[in-house]
Amino acid sequence: MLLHPIPAFSDNYIWLLADDNGNALVVDPGDAAPVSAFLAEHRLTLRAILITHHHPDHVGGVNRLLDEHDVPVYGPADEQIPGRTHALAEGDSVQLDAPALRFDVLHVPGHTLGHIAFFTGDHAPPLLFCGDTLFAAGCGRLFEGTPAQMLASLDRLSALPDQTLVCCAHEYTLNNLRFAQAVTPDDTSVNQRLAQMMHTRASGQPTVPVVLAEERQSNPFLRVDDRPLRDAINAREQAALTDRTEIFAALRRWKDQF
């Protein structure tokens, strides 16, 4: 299958997945124009639209695509999604005939309250379309949810299979890794990954998707139990925090100000 991040706006990615017969799905099409151009260039037929949450840069192109393609739109039940035909909640699944894939629906609140993610083990390696919950070396801002909700969502995604490809929706990797380096400056995995990703971006290539096992090594938001990170948080907070939710909240506040 073809897995491709279509650039949109300044730093968004609209994910496209297509089978060998030219059947395609797209995830979070905030802008229809680059999707339509890619479909035409590669002679692909749009078969489905998957939506993770309601923010305009993720849904803004849905109606225009529906003007051109009569396809189902799968999105979170608890949010206002334009053109939605299938309202999804925790425990639901999406079975597509073309591309022939089954996705498990995971409720991952934090960035928004109704945010969902789509996971499939039918692809090798497994794929996770996680919107703005988990980023390469980072996580989404807490616009609607609580630190406890976001931490639980990240814990859940982190428990997926090691080889899962994390298909996140923004090119934030360099900034996220620079923050990770500021938190734990002596961390070899972070420093090596930052150098590698700087080279990737200098070559004009996207830094995503990323392998989940690598995220666990260098994403600070998946490492709130690590002693060096906890020590860094407590030094900054001038506190002795031990509760992992409080540590996560402090880490997220630090990133918001970075």
Annotated active-site residue in 54, 107, 115, 170: 170
Q: Is 86 a catalytic residue?
A: no
* Length of the chain in terms of residues written: 258
Classify residue 61 by its DSSP letter.
T
Annotated active-site residue in 78, 111, 115, 187: 111
CA 198, 203, 208, 214 dihedral sign is negative
Q: Is 58 a catalytic residue?
A: yes
Phi-psi region of 5 (alpha: psi -120 to 50; beta: other; left: phi over 0): beta
Annotated active-site residue in 28, 31, 53, 187: 53
Answer whether 225's CB lies under 8 Å from 244's CB.
yes
Rounded to whole angstroms, how far apart are CA atoms 135 and 127? 14
Question: Exposed, middle or buried by CB within 10 Å (0-12, 13-18, 19+), for 137?
Answer: buried
Q: Is 57 a catalytic residue?
A: yes
Backbone angles phi, psi at 165, to 5 degrees: -85, 120
Annotated active-site residue in 28, 31, 54, 57: 57
Q: Is 55 a catalytic residue?
A: yes
Q: Is 53 a catalytic residue?
A: yes
Annotated active-site residue in 54, 58, 107, 115: 58
Annotated active-site residue in 54, 55, 107, 115: 55
Instruction: Please identify every residue annotated as catalytic.
Output: 53, 55, 57-58, 111, 132, 170
